[in-house]
Amino acid sequence: MSRHTICKTSEVEVGLIKPVTIGRSPIILARLPSGEIRAVGGYCPHQAADLKYGCISGVTNGDTPNELTFDHAGEVLRCPWHGFEYSLVSGDPLVPAPANTKGCLRFYEVAIEGDNVIVIM
Ligand code: FES
């Protein structure tokens, strides 16, 4: 395991993707509304689209017509290719993944030291 100082904490904002590269590995940094920072593998588990071109959003829920709610704002990463959505809280896809895919986002450990974001991989 090696530690990589990536950026300042202020450079990772809620709702925005911060793409970085560690060695040859693309990584996505994202800040959850709770303030926690996630480091996620930069390729989609489905068919390896580059997630830096995706977006962070939430989900629309509702069981009754015309009564929708928007939930989990800032906690959902949407792939730019086929639109699969993954929870930045758990790493799981919001809809079960097809049988032949890895299914979940790959998380890397993050440490905050002073103002620095450290990714451990
Ligand atoms: S490659 Fe991401 S949803 Fe297909």
- C-alpha 48 to ligand 1 mean position (Å): 6
Report the sign of the C-alpha dihedral through residues 66, 71, 74, 78, in that order: negative
Q: 82: Cβ below 6 Å to ligand 1?
A: yes
Q: Mean pLDDT for the chain?
A: 95
> What CATH number has the domain bearing residue 103?
2.102.10.10
Give residue-wise pLDDT tens across range 44-72. Answer: 999 999 999 999 999 999 999 889 999 99
C-alpha to C-alpha distances, 73 to 6, 32, 41, 81, 92, nearest whole angstrom? 25, 9, 21, 21, 16
**Would you state the pLDDT for residue 35?**
97
**Would you state the pLDDT for residue 95?**
87
Q: 105: Cβ below 6 Å to ligand 1?
A: no
Instruction: Give ∠ CA 56-37-78 in degrees, rounded to 5.
Output: 20
Instruction: Look up the domain containing 76 and give its range.
Output: 3-120
Which whole number is the average pLDDT over 104-117? 97
Number of compact structural domains in the chain? 1
Q: Which of 28, 43, 44 for a ligand 1 pocket mutation test, highest count of atoms within 8 Å of Cβ?
A: 44
With 80 as the cut, is the pLDDT of residue 81 above it? yes
